[in-house]
Amino acid sequence: MGEGAGFQLGTVGALSLSVVSSVSIVICNKALMSSLGFIFATTLTSWHLLVTFCSLHVALLMKLFEHKPFDRKAVMGFGVLNGISIGLLNLSLGFNSVGFYQMTKLAIIPCTVFLETVFLAKKFSRSIQFSLSILLLGVGIATVTDLQLNLLGSVVSLLAIVTTCVAQIMTNTIQKKFKVSSTQLLYQSAPYQALTLFVAGPFLDGLLTNQNVFAFNYTPQVLIFIVLSCLISVSVNFSTFLVIGKTSPVTYQVLGHLKTCLVLTFGYVLLHDPFSWRNIFGISVAIVGMVLYSYFCTSEGQQKAREASSQMLQVKDNDSEALMRAESGAGIDADGAAPTATVWSSNKDLRA
């Protein structure tokens, strides 16, 4: 009972931290890129991961968590794949319209469901599939406006979807397989992610913006927002690994669409971004899908817990019955008389 309650509390805390930190960094980065003109997203992400690693290293020195080395090849492959997926998502936004990019993000959930079903034999009930369909429909209505297709952009988007799905599934499976915490996995993989993006970032940003990140005019205001963005990113990266480890890649994607709805709302309230009845209707439908997904997940989780508990009770009852039969069989022989060996042994002890 106590462990279950603790897990639920930890999950709620992780989800809340992920939402707050992600919405905060989107608002911060929007001010940095839109207002101050710093549009080098991939390079900025590499700085985020570098600051995250340094922060975790300080936490390790303070003994806030334990370092647990494990398969270096798995960590390296995972870190590089994560870095590639981030770069491909940024390229997808650069080579496609905003509407097609949003469709790319929407496709991550069904792709994740497909991969987990085929390769991990995970089952998703019809109720879960129905709630996810409503969620995706709502987010699509709220965010997808123009759909302009091109071959290069479509290929990049497809690669971004696959790498993102595989990386998020690995985030969950690695934690369970090697019995490492989200902090331990992030600490060991962050350098590889940062290095991948640090090498590729300036090239990708130059390709997308036709500007040189190292030639940018770094005013004090720009530096302040960059530092603030990097500090918030520590919480974003930590909560991402925490949520996927405690729940699942699909739940993390559902949470991501909740953040999208919140960002649209905050953008309208705080930054006076354009907002239409289509946005309102889409967000409302998406929220219905999220509520249904949460309800079905909770119900199915409770049902599985009850089934597991009843199975344990049944096993205990069977063990008790077997023990009672064994004791009864040992106490009476086949003729119904008490065994003489025990009496003889007792008499022998008395004579001794």
Compute, in degrees rounded to 10, the torsion defined by CA atoms 260, 264, 270, 276: -170
Predicted pLDDT of residue 124: 92
237 near 186, Cβ under 8 Å? yes
Q: Say what the pLDDT of residue 345 is.
A: 42
Per-residue pLDDT tens, the chain, 352 aa: give them.
Answer: 444 444 444 778 888 888 899 888 988 998 898 889 999 999 999 999 999 999 999 999 999 889 999 899 999 999 999 999 999 998 888 888 777 888 888 899 999 999 999 999 998 999 999 999 999 999 998 887 766 777 888 999 999 999 999 999 999 999 999 999 989 999 999 999 999 999 999 999 999 899 999 999 999 999 999 999 999 999 999 988 988 888 889 988 988 888 888 877 777 776 666 778 888 899 899 999 999 998 998 888 888 888 877 777 776 666 666 666 666 655 545 455 545 444 444 444 434 3
- Distance separating alpha carbons of residues 131 and 187, to the nearest angstrom: 34
Looking at residue 125, the DSSP 8-state letter turns out to be -
Q: How far is the C-alpha of 8 from the C-alpha of 352, rounded, in Å?
A: 63
Whether residue 289 contacts residue 133, with contact meaning beta carbons closer than 8 Å, is answered with yes
Q: Tell me how far apart the alpha carbons of residues 331 and 343 are, in angstroms, rounded to a whole number.
A: 12
Which residues neighbour 248 within 8 Å (Cβ) at sequence distance 6 or greater? 172
User: In angstroms, rounded to a whole number, what is the distance separating the alpha carbons of residues 81 and 236?
Assistant: 18
- The residue ranges of DSSP E strands in 123-270, in sequence order, are none
| E strand intervals along the chain | none
How far separated are the first and last CA of the chain, in Å rounded? 54
CB-based contacts of 235, cutoff 8 Å, min separation 6: 17, 20, 21
What local confidence, expressed as pLDDT, does residue 330 receive? 54
